Amino acid sequence: MTTLVSVGYIVAFVLFIYGLMGMTGPRTAVRGNWIAAAGMTVAVVATLLQPGMGNWLLIALGLGIGAVIGVPAARRVKMTAMPQMVALFNGVGGGAVALIAWVEFRVTTGYEAEPLYVAIASLFAAIVGSVSFWGSGVAFGKLQELLPGRPVTLGRLQQPLNIVLLAAALACAVIIAAGGRSEWLIIGVLVAAGLIGVMVVLPIGGADMPVVISLLNAFTGLSAAAMGLALDNTALIVAGMIVGASGSILTNLMAQAMNRSIPAILAGGFGSGGGGGAVAAGGGGDRPVRSTSAADAAIQLAYAGRVMVVPGYGLAVAQAQHAVREMADLLEAKGIDVAYAVHPVAGRMPGHMNVLLAEADVPYESLKEMDESNSAFPQVDVSLVIGANDVTNPAAQSDPNSPIYGMPILHVTSSRSVIVLKRSMGSGFAGIDNALFTDPKTAMLFGDAKESVGGIVEELKSL
C-alpha cells in the first residue's frame, strides 16, 4: 500500500468515526450521515488509486449496476417499508463478502500458498457473510409479507438440524484450512452457512425481527472485518469492526427494550407454541367488547383535557400518520394537550414510529419515551391506541405464562379512559390476545386506522 492510499484510508476512518458520533444525536444526525458517506467516497477513491489496478471496465460495470439498482430503491421505498429495505441492503453486503471469499478460494487454489490466518479469516468471512445474506433475505421476505410473518418451525428437529448444518459448514472449512483443494468444499461452506441463515431466521416471529436485522447487520460488519484481515486491508478491518461492535451493542439495546435475550430470540418460536392459546382463554376472551363510533370517540376526545396517542404498527400500515396529525391539530386548537407515547419497539424497528410521525410533521417534543409516558398516563383523560397491540398488552405484566411476560409496556389502563382503533379482534404480530380490549375502561373503534381517524377528524370539525 502506498502512502497516498494509507493517508486516504486514515482520512476515511476519521470521517467514519466523526460521522457516526454525529449520528447519535438528532440535531447532528443528517450531517453525520453525509460525513460518513464522504468517508466512504474517500476510501473508494484511495483504493482505486492503488498502483497496479486494472480491469477498469468491469469495475465501472459493477459500480454502475449497483448505483442503478441502489439509488432508485432507496429513493422510492415507502417509509413503512424501511425495515425490509434495511434488511435487503444488509443482505447484499453479506452476499458481497461471501462472493469475494469464494473468489479468494478460487484464485489462491484453496489458499495453497497463503498463511493459515488468511484461510481462517477468509473462511470465517464466507460463513458469516453467507448467513447474513440468506438470513436477511428471509427477514426481508417476512417483513414484505412474501413469507408468513408467524414463526415457521420444524418443531423438535429444528435445533438438531441447525447443529448439523453448522457442523457441516465447519467441517468443510476445517478440511480447506488443513489443505483441501476441492472447490466443492467452499461451495459446501457457503451452502451450509446459507441454510443456517434461512433456518435460524425462518422460525423467528415478526415481533423479534428488528433485533434479528440488527444482529445480521453486526454479522455483516464482522465478516467485512474478517475479509479485511484476509486481504490485509485496514479500511475493511476498521470500518467492518466498528460496525460489528456498534451493531452488537445496538442489538443488545433493542433486545433489552423488549426484555428478550438474544439466545432466546435465536432459539425461535416466539408466539408459536400452545402458550398463545392458553392466554387467549385466560385473558378474558369471553368478556364483552364495548365498541364505539367515530362520533362518540370525537366527543370523548373533544371534552378531554389531555390526550395521549399510542401509535403502533397498525398506524404505519394504514398510513394514518397524516390523519392523526390533522386530528391532533384540531384538538390542540381546542386547547387540549396532545402527546404521543412511543414504545421503544412500536412499529417493527426501534425508532420506526418516530420516523413515521416525524414524516407527518409531528413535533419532536410531543413524542414521549416510555418512562415519561407511563408517569403521565394517570393524568391523561383519553388514551387513543392506534393499531398498537403487544406494547399495550397488560399480560406482559400480569401473566407469567404469556410469551411476552416481562416486556415493558405502556400502561394505558392507568389513564381515565381508553379508545382502541383496530381493524378487527385479531391478535397482534406476536400472535397473542390482549386483555386491554375487554377492560371496562376501553372502547373499541373497529376499522382501518386511517378511515377511523379520518372519521374522527370529520366529527371534530362539525362539533
Partner 1 sequence: MPIESIAILVLAGFVGYTVISKVPNTLHTPLMSGTNAIHGIVLLGGLIVLGHGVDGVLNKILLVVAIAFGMINVVGGFLVTDRMLGMFKQRPGERRPGERGSGAGKEGGQ
> For partner 1, which is the closer residue by CB, 205 or 247?
247
Please pick, from the candidates 225, 301, 338, 341, the single residue that binds partner 1 as defined by CB under 8 A. Answer: 225
443: three-class secondary structure by DSSP: strand
What residues contact 107, with CB distance under 8 A and at least 6 apart?
none
Q: What is 33-67 written as a DSSP string?
A: HHHHHHHHHHHHHHHHTSTT---HHHHHHHHHHHH
Q: Is 292 in the site for partner 1 (CB under 8 A)?
A: no
390 is a catalytic site residue: yes
Helix axes 321-333, 352-359, angle to 10 degrees: 60
Q: How far is the CB of 308 from partner 1 (least distance, A)?
A: 17
Instruction: Report the site for partner 1 in 254-283 (rule: CB under 8 A).
Output: 254, 256-257
Which span (233-241, 284-292, 302-310, 395-403) binds partner 1, by CB under 8 A?
233-241
What's the DSSP call for residue 406? T
Whole-angstrom Cα distance, residue 436 to residue 131? 39
Whole-angstrom Cα distance, residue 382 to residue 219? 44
Q: Is 214 in the site for partner 1 (CB under 8 A)?
A: yes
Angle at CA of residue 429, ends 392 and 412, nearest 5° = 10
Which span (33-41, 185-193, 301-309, 429-437) binds partner 1, by CB under 8 A?
33-41
Whole-angstrom Cα distance, residue 353 to residue 356? 5
Residue type at 457 in one-letter notation: V
What residues contact 189, with CB distance under 8 A and at least 6 apart?
123, 126, 127, 130, 169, 172, 173, 176
Whole-angstrom Cα distance, residue 204 to residue 220? 19
Strand pairing class (337-341; 306-311)? parallel
Please pick, from the candidates 155, 371, 400, 424, the single residue that binds partner 1 as defined by CB under 8 A. Answer: 371
Please pick, from the candidates 169, 185, 192, 224, the single residue that binds partner 1 as defined by CB under 8 A. Answer: 224
Q: How far is the CB of 66 from partner 1 (least distance, A)?
A: 2
> For partner 1, which is the closer residue by CB, 183 or 458?
183
Determine the size of the site formed for partner 1 (CB under 8 A).
116
> For partner 1, which is the closer residue by CB, 188 or 276?
188
Please pick, from the candidates 65, 146, 174, 187, the single residue that binds partner 1 as defined by CB under 8 A. Answer: 65
Please pick, from the candidates 16, 111, 134, 429, the single residue that binds partner 1 as defined by CB under 8 A. Answer: 16
Q: How far is the CB of 449 from partner 1 (least distance, A)?
A: 19
| Size (the chain), residues | 463
Contact 145, 253 (CB under 8 A): no
Q: Is 339 in the site for partner 1 (CB under 8 A)?
A: no
Residue where the block lists cell 397498525: 314
Q: How far is the CB of 126 from partner 1 (least distance, A)?
A: 12
Please pick, from the candidates 14, 66, 277, 332, the single residue that binds partner 1 as defined by CB under 8 A. Answer: 66
Name residue 421's beta-bridge partners: 386, 445
Q: How far is the CB of 157 from partner 1 (least distance, A)?
A: 32
Q: Build a one-symbol-per-residue string for 235-254: x at contacts with partner 1 by CB under 8 A, - elsewhere.
A: xxxxxxxxxxxxx-xx--xx
Instruction: Report the site for partner 1 in 75-114 (rule: CB under 8 A).
Output: 75, 77, 79, 82-83, 85-86, 88-90, 92-93, 95-97, 99-100, 102-104, 106-107
- Would the CA dihedral through 391, 83, 15, 104 be positive or negative? positive
Q: How far is the CB of 184 from partner 1 (least distance, A)?
A: 15
Instruction: Give catalytic residue positions.
Output: 390
